[in-house]
Amino acid sequence: MSKLSLRDMLGNHISEGTHFALISRRQREGGRALEYLQGKFCELASLSEIADIRNSRAAPGSSCRSLTLIPFRQIAERGFEVVNDATPLLNMIVARTTLHHESELDFVRSPAKAKVSSADFDIDDDAYAEIAQEIIHREIGYGSGSNFVLKRNLCGTVENFNLDRALEFYSNILNTERSAYWTFLVWTGAEFLIGATPERHVTSRGGEISMMPISGTLRLDQQSSISHLMSFLNDQKEVEELQMVVDEEMKMMCRLCPDGAVVTGPELVHLSSVIHTAYHISGLSSASIADTLTHTMFSPAIVGSPVQNACRVVARYEPKGRGYYAGVLALTEIDDEGELTLDSAIIIRTAYVAPDGRFTIPVGATIVRDSCPESEASETRAKASALLTAFQGNSSSSRASNIIDTTSDQVSEALQFRNEGLNKSWLRSRSETKRPISGSSPHKMLIIDGEDDFTQMLRMQFERSGLDVHLASAQVDLPFDNFDSVLLGPGPGDPTDVSDRRISSLYDLAGQLLTSETPFVAMCLGHQIVSRRLNLPIRRLTPPNQGIQKYIDYFGRDILVGFYNTFAAFACEQPLEGIHFKQSIEISRDINTGEIYGLRGKSFQTAQFHPESIISRDGSLVIEEMARFLKDACKPLNRRSVGLAGR
């Protein structure tokens, strides 16, 4: 196919009202390929309709494919709060696919640079920094979550914009962003999406699904050096930022993978203006494509954590909605064996260009407890700069990131050192982490979910300890008889907020568990609720313990574990003798501050930290001990049913 025919073909499709995409992506066998996909986008009502369009199997050799644009508002399918900006869920049944060489786009290069006018952010640097500071104080500082992504838009106009300009911009991005996961140009019939995303969303092939959590950002310029990179790799804020995202994506993977998931990495992902750090997570799953996409909406790296509450925060601070930003571009196809496969990319670092040349480039930064708001504003500028540079015709392949040798032993050692303090149970191969075969009457545990999918990781860890685990929401009326033990799970929010039905439900349940001496354990929010039941004071921490590791003495064992809490219980004396629910209660606490790390009575044990977290090096030992404790404390629960909500 000649170079001209590709251009003519694209032009004809626009005039005929058909749609197309050009996608350069990594191939399984190595290298990259430029794929041309042509068809017609149709609007879907929900992701479940993808299953209606595609069968799970097709004849070997079938070329059947579909391309799906998933907007951020689609997260409403998970029941999460979101601004409904009416951005459509689009699906294209691909009628034609051809492979091309990137050089076929060279003919569109114009000797005159494109003129970009009125390019500026819709929220200026000072206003953005003020909003970031408010999130740190009001949201992270009061227990809404550990991190949140705040977006703003770079807006402007490309003068004399047309198809040739769109292809030229795309060609420039291809030349500058060689390390992107996907580089794409999509014509929807209403606008062009032109982007280079560094981040895989989720892939599914041969029964294995994979995700690629990315976080941490080093801004690059011509003065960047190996010393800047090493400082970035050893910056605790950047380390913690990535670890928090890994925890969030592990929650998703544990929901989809019955036998758990394995974390590998970390590695560097370097684009023209920034370098990121990333891990890979993989596991075996039989979930459908629609379910896989639904339960991975959306990457915490672009939303925040925990994801459900982060959506509430995003809705408060971004009232206009997100469009396709932080959504997903997904390619579904049939492989040579007739199996349905999925490859997908997160829609970031993407320009949305209308036919008249007006464009929007949404960019965001992750706000954590120790963020510098002004630096986060600068980070968004760096992320937008590569696309703006491509618009302006500066496509030199001499990138700032090429100045730094990212393959040196020094860099490799710094990356591997990051794993030293992590929970090794998530870093082992799948053959080492299979759940044990239960006996004829396995110990049955009910986990009460406080709106944090850390419960999915807790389920996996306790199953590996031989328990038969079931989950229930704190806001669903469900009896807990017929279970041997209960786990009061983690969740966001203020444990003293009696107006929150979720909190009041957990509080009532904690009282009944203590009174009945039902064996139970409690984590984080659950621990705080039990502490309230024992009349221990709850205080807000300044600064909060969101995503940090601590060495603590936990009932005589020195352990390194991860904390995600803004509130904590305190005590100055131990043990609590005789007056609390007829139990003598031991306390694990900081001897200097009185902050409580755990409580233990004859029928229960609690932990303020998250033993299931990737950042809890010794978490597996704690969970194994808790499982033994519950089995030893267990007695048949032939009690009346007790509801979990509405009390």
- Active-site positions read 524, 610, 612
Using a 10 angstrom Cβ sphere, with 0-12 exposed, 13-18 middle and 19 or more buried, the burial of residue 486 is: buried
CB 567, CB 532: distance < 8 Å: no
CB 611, CB 620: distance < 8 Å: yes
CB 343, CB 203: distance < 8 Å: yes
Termini Cα distance of the chain: 70
**518-529: burial string, b at 16+ Cβ within 10 Å, e else:** bbbbbbbbbbbb
CB 570, CB 590: distance < 8 Å: no
* Residue among 479, 436, 408, 399 at smallest CA distance from 639: 479
* Residue among 100, 59, 83, 88 at smallest CA distance from 324: 88
Q: Which residues contact 189 (CB under 8 A, 6 or more apart)?
A: 17, 19, 41
Angstrom distance (rounded) from CA 35 to CA 97? 7
Quick count: other Cβ atoms within 10 Å of Cβ 321? 17
Angstrom distance (rounded) from CA 564 to CA 419? 19
Using a 10 angstrom Cβ sphere, with 0-12 exposed, 13-18 middle and 19 or more buried, the burial of residue 311 is: buried
Angstrom distance (rounded) from CA 497 to CA 532? 11
Quick count: other Cβ atoms within 10 Å of Cβ 602? 14
For the chain, state the CA radius of gyration.
26
Angstrom distance (rounded) from CA 509 to CA 518? 11
Residue 417 DSSP code:
H
Classify 106 in phi/psi space as left (phi over 0), alpha (psi -120 to 50) or beta: alpha
Partners of residue 587 on adjacent β-strands: 599
Quick count: other Cβ atoms within 10 Å of Cβ 556? 7
SS3 369: coil
Angstrom distance (rounded) from CA 64 to CA 390? 33
CB 331, CB 343: distance < 8 Å: yes
Quick count: other Cβ atoms within 10 Å of Cβ 478? 15
Quick count: other Cβ atoms within 10 Å of Cβ 542? 9
Angstrom distance (rounded) from CA 537 to CA 535? 6
What are the structure tokens assigned to 550, written together?
A: 């601590």
Cα torsion at 477, 479, 485, 487 (round to 10°)?
0
